[in-house]
C-alpha cells in the first residue's frame, strides 16, 4: 500500500484498526493534502528456518573458506616463528583487511603470544580470534531509538549497494519488534526505484510515501509530515545511488538531509551508508567520503554472502570506524540482522 501525493490518496487497507489520527489531514508543502489514517501493522509471522546463525555461517562461507582454509594450514602445528607470522600476514591481507588492520592484528597476536608464553602454532588461532574480536568490537553498536518518534533513518550509498533491498528487510525487522514503519521513496531518479520500494512496502504492508515527479527532498519532507501525523515509530528514507565523486549528487543528498531536519529538527537520527562487501578495501574510501559529506552515524554491510572479502570489517574498524548497525547475508527478507562481533568471528573461524 502506498500513497502518491500527486494523485488522489490511496485508500488505507491495513489489517489492524486505525488509531485516531493526530490530524485529519496533512498539508504538504506543495499544497497537496493527504488524509492521514494510522498505518498500524500486524507483526509478521515468526522467522523462517534455517536460523540466523546458520544463514550467517553459510553467508560467510566464502570468506571463511578462503581465510579459514589458509589459517587451518598455518595453525596445523609446528613452532611459532617469524616465518609463521609472515604467512599469517599474507593470509590476512588476502581477506581484504588492509595493511593497517593486518599490521595491528599481527602486533596484537605477537603480544598475546609472548604474554601467554604460547609456543605451538595450534595455539595461535585463539590469539588471532581474540585480537580480531577486540579490534571490531567497537563497531557493534545496535541502533538505540532513545524514545524518538518518529525515529528517522536516511540511507545513502553508491548504485546497487543494496539500499532499497535493505530498507525492505529493515521494515520487516522493525515490524517484528512491534514498531510501525513508513518508507520514503527518496530515489526520484528512476521510476523503477520507486516501484521497487513500493513493492517492498506492499510485501511488508507498510505505507510508502512517493511522488511521480518532484525531488527527493520534497518526498522526504512529505514523509516526515505523514509520519508525524500518523504517529509512526520509524521512517526509513531511500535515496538514489551516487558516487562520492559526483559532487552535484552529493550536494543533492546533503539537501535531503537538511530538508528532513527542517521537518523534524533533530532528524535524521540515523544516517546510514550502505556498502556492498564485494568492493573490499574500496569500502573504506566510501566510508570516509560519505562521512565527510553527511556525517554518518552507521553502516550496513550487504552481500557478505557473495564475497570472500568479509575481512573489510576489520579494515573499517581500524581506519575509519563507524558503527556497523546491520549486515546482510542474502537476498531474502530475513537476511539482514544487527551486527554481532561474536557471531561474526565465530562464523568466520568455526
Ligand atoms: N546476495 C545478496 N544480494 C543482495 C544483498 N543485498 C542486496 N542484494 C542485491 O543487490 C542488488 C541491488 O540491490 P538494491 O537494493 O536495488 O540496491 P540499491 O543500493 O538500492 O541500488 P540503486 O537504487 O541502483 O542505487 C539486488 O539484486 C539485491 O537483491 C545481500 O545481502 N546479499
Ligand atoms: Mg535503490
pLDDT digits (tens, 9 = 90+) for 201-248: 888 889 999 988 779 999 999 999 999 999 999 999 999 999 999 999
pLDDT of residue 40: 40
Query: Which numbered atom of ligand 1 lies nearest the CA of 241?
Result: 25
What's the CA-to-centroid distance between 17 and ligand 1, angstroms? Answer: 34
pLDDT of residue 48: 53
Nearest to 299 by CA among 249, 261, 339, 240: 339
User: Do residues 95 and 88 touch, judged by C-beta distance below 8 A?
Assistant: no
Q: Is position 239 annotated in a ligand binding site? A: yes
Which residue CA neighbors atom 30 of ligand 1 most closely? Answer: 303
pLDDT in tens, 48-57: 567 888 888 8
CA atoms 27, 28, 31, 37: torsion sign:
negative
Instruction: Name the residue of 55, 157, 158, 160 whose CB sits within 8 Å of the most ligand 1 atoms, as the mutation to test its pocket.
Output: 160
Instruction: Name the residue of 60, 155, 161, 162 whose CB sits within 8 Å of the most ligand 1 atoms, as the mutation to test its pocket.
Output: 162
* H-run or E-run covering 66: helix 61-74
C-alpha cell at 322: 563507524
pLDDT of residue 328: 94
User: Do residues 290 and 296 touch, judged by C-beta distance below 8 A?
Assistant: yes
- Interatomic CA distance for residues 276 and 306, integer angstroms: 10
* Ligand number with the minimum distance to the CA of 242: 1
* Ligand number with the minimum distance to the CA of 277: 1
* Helix/strand/coil for 5: coil
Q: What is the mean pLDDT of residues 126-145?
A: 95
Note the pTM of the prediction, 2 decimals: 0.85
What's the CA-to-centroid distance between 196 and ligand 1, angstroms? Answer: 11
Q: Is position 318 annotated in a ligand binding site? A: no
pLDDT of residue 49: 65
Is residue 278 within 6 Å of ligand 1 at its C-beta? no
Amino acid at each position: 500500500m502506498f500513497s502518491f501525493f500527486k494523485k488522489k490518496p490511496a485508500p488505507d487497507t491495513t489489517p489492524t484498526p486505525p488509531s485516531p489520527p493526530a490530524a485529519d489531514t496533512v498539508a504538504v508543502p506543495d499544497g497537496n493534502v493527504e488524509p492521514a489514517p494510522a498505518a498500524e501493522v500486524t507483526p509478521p509471522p515468526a522467522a523462517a528456518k534455517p536460523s540466523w546463525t546458520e544463514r550467517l555461517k553459510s553467508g560467510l562461507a566464502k570468506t571463511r573458506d578462503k581465510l579459514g582454509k589458509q589459517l587451518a594450514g598455518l595453525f596445523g602445528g609446528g613452532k611459532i616463528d617469524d616465518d609463521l607470522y609472515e604467512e599469517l600476514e599474507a593470509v590476512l591481507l588476502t581477506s581484504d583487511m588492509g595493511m593497517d588492520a593486518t599490521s595491528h592484528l599481527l602486533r596484537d597476536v605477537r603480544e598475546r603470544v609472548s604474554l601467554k608464553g604460547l609456543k605451538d602454532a595450534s595455539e595461535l588461532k585463539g590469539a588471532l580470534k581474540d585480537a580480531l574480536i577486540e579490534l571490531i568490537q567497537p563497531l557493534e553498536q545496535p541502533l538505540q531509538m532513545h524514545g524518538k518518534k518518529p525515529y528517522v533513518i536516511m540511507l545513502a550509498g553508491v548504485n546497487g549497494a543494496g539500499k532499497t533491498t535493505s530498507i525492505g528487510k529493515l521494515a520487516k525487522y522493525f515490524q517484528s519488534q512491534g514498531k510501525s514503519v513508513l518508507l520514503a521513496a527518496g530515489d526520484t531518479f528512476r521510476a523503477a526505484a520507486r516501484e521497487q520500494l513500493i513493492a517492498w512496502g506492499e510485501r511488508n504492508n507498510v505505507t510508502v510515501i512517493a511522488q511521480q515527479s518532484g525531488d527527493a527532498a520534497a518526498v522526504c519532507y512529505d514523509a516526515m509530515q505523514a509520519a508525524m501525523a500518523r504517529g509512526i515509530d520509524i521512517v526509513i528514507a531511500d535515496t538514489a545511488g551516487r558516487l562520492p565523486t559526483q559532487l552535484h549528487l552529493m550536494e543533492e543528498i546533503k539537501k535531503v538531509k537538511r530538508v528532513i531536519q527542517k521537518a523534524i529538527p533533530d532528524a535524521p537520527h540515523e544516517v546510514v551508508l550502505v556498502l556492498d562487501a564485494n568492493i573490499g578495501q574500496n569500502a573504506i574510501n566510501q566510508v570516509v567520503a560519505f562521512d565527510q559529506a553527511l556525517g554518518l552515524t552507521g553502516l550496513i554491510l550487504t552481500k557478505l554472502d557473495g564475497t570472500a572479502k568479509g575481512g573489510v570489517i576489520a579494515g573499517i574498524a581500524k581506519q575509519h570506524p563507524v558503527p556497523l548497525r546491520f549486515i546482510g547475508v542474502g537476498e531474502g527478507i530475513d537476511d539482514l540482522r544487527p551486527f554481532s562481533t561474536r557471531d561474526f568471528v565465530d562464523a568466520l573461524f568455526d
